[in-house]
Amino acid sequence: PTSLNLAVIGGDGIGPEVVAQGLKVLRAVTDQVGVSVTTTDYDLGAKRWHKSGETLPDSVVEELRGHDAILLGAIGHPTVPSGVLERGVLLPLRFALDHCVNLRPSVLFPGAVSPLDIERVAPDGIDFVVVREGTEGPYVGNGGALRVGTPHEIATEVSVNTAYGVDRVVRDAFERASARPRKKLTLVHKHNVLVHAGHLWRRTVEAVAPEFPEVTVDYLHIDAATIFMTTDPGRFDVIVTDNLFGDIITDLAAAISGGIGLAASGNINPMRTAPSMFEPVHGSAPDIEGQGKADPTAAILSVALMLEHVGLPELAARVDQAVHDDLAERDPSVPRTTDQIGDAVAARL
C-alpha cells in the first residue's frame, strides 16, 4: 500500500500518551518510503461514558469499518464500574470486527529484564507467540445469575466454542507455526476437565494437523503450561488457546519477557472482512496518567504488528529493530519520559 487510513482510539489513562508515540514512530518510518498516513480520532472510553452514558455507538462501529486498521491505547478507568467499558467498548469492538485472532508475541529482547534466571531456564532466549481466540469462550456473556444477593445465588458464565470459531483460529496458528523456523504448535487447554470444549479444540487440531505436516504438535493443560512458562519458556513457539486461558497466559508471558510495558498485541481479523486493531496489552494505568512516565514501547511494537498486517513487513522489521536497539542501550538508572522514548526510537529508524 502507498497510503494508510487509520482509526485511532487513544482511550483512557495513559492510552492517548502511548498511542501518540506509536504514531510518531509510524510517521517517521512511513515518511521514509513515501507511504502517506491519515488518522481519524475516535473518542471512546471513560470520558465519553461520563459525558453521555455512551459506550460504543453503532455509528462509530460503522465508521471504523472504513479504515485500514485501528490503533488503540487502553480502555478502562476506576471511575467507571468494573465491566462497563470492558463489556461495553473493548469486547464489542473485538466481536463486531470479528477479531478472532488475538495475537500476542512474547520475545525477550536484548536489554529487557526478565524476572527469570534466563541463563538457566532459557539459555536460547524466549521467542514465542500466543494465538489467543478473541471472539468466543467465556467472554461472550453467555450466563446469568439467579437469586442474586441471597445465600442461594447461582452464577454461570458458559464458555461458547464453535467448530467454526475454533477451526479458524487453529488454522491461523498452524499457518503462523509453519512460517516460523521452529514450526511448533502447542495447544493449551484443560481437556481433562473441560471435556466438551477441550475435546472440540483437540479434535480440531488433530483434523488440521495433516495439512501442515511440517509443524510439530504438542499439548499442555493450562496449569502445566504456567509451570513450563517459568521453568522452560524456550519450549514454546506458537501457542493456540481459548480466550480466557489466552488472557491469563499472555500476562504471564509478558511478565517473563520484559514486563507488560513491552507487550504488544494485534486483534486480527484474518478473513480481512473488517479492520484489525492493534493495542498494547497493558491497561490505562490511571495512577501515572499525564505524568509522562508511561513506557510507550508496547504501543510502538503494536504499530510494528500493524505494519506487518497491512502488508508493510519491511517497515515492521525496521520498527522492531529500532525498539531492539533502544532497549539494548537503555540505562535503567536514567529514566526517560514517554516522549523521550518515542523520540529515541524514531531517531533510530
Q: Which does 86 bind (CB under 5 to 8 A by kind): ligand IPM, Mn ion, none?
A: ligand IPM
Nearer to ligand IPM, 14 or 28 (CB): 14
Say which entry of Mn ion, ligand IPM, none residue 263 contacts (CB below 5 to 8 A, set by partner kind): none
Q: Which helix (H) or strand (E) holds 280?
A: strand 276-280
75 in a labelled binding site: no
Binding site for Mn ion (CB under 5 A): 247
Is residue 242 a contact point for ligand IPM (CB under 6 A)?
no
Grid cell, residue 29, equals: 518510518
Three-state secondary-structure class, residue 246 = helix
Q: Which helix (H) or strand (E) holds 105?
A: strand 101-107
From the list Mn ion, ligand IPM, none, which binds 90 (C-beta under 5 to 8 Å, kind-based)? Answer: ligand IPM
Kind of pairing, strands 69-74 and 276-280?
parallel
288 is in an annotated binding site: yes
Residue 86 interacts with ligand IPM (CB under 6 A): yes or no: yes
By rule CB under 6 A, what string of x and - marks binding of each residue 246-275 to ligand IPM?
A: -x----------------------------
Q: Give whole-number Cα distances, 308 to 130, 212, 224, 268, in Å.
A: 16, 23, 32, 11
To the question of whether residue 285 is assigned a binding role by annotation, the answer is: yes
**Closest listed residue to residue 244, CA positions, set 140, 96, 106, 92:** 140
The reply, when asked if residue 48 is annotated as ligand binding, is no
Taking CB under 6 A as the binding criterion, the range among 84-92, 222-230, 314-322, 340-348 that sits at the site for ligand IPM is 84-92
**Alpha-carbon distances, residue 279 vs 70, 183, 268, 284 (angstroms):** 9, 26, 11, 11
Which spans of this chain sit near ligand IPM (rule: CB under 6 A)? 76, 86, 90-91, 247, 281
Instruction: Give the annotated binding-site residues.
Output: 94, 104, 132, 223, 247, 251, 283-295
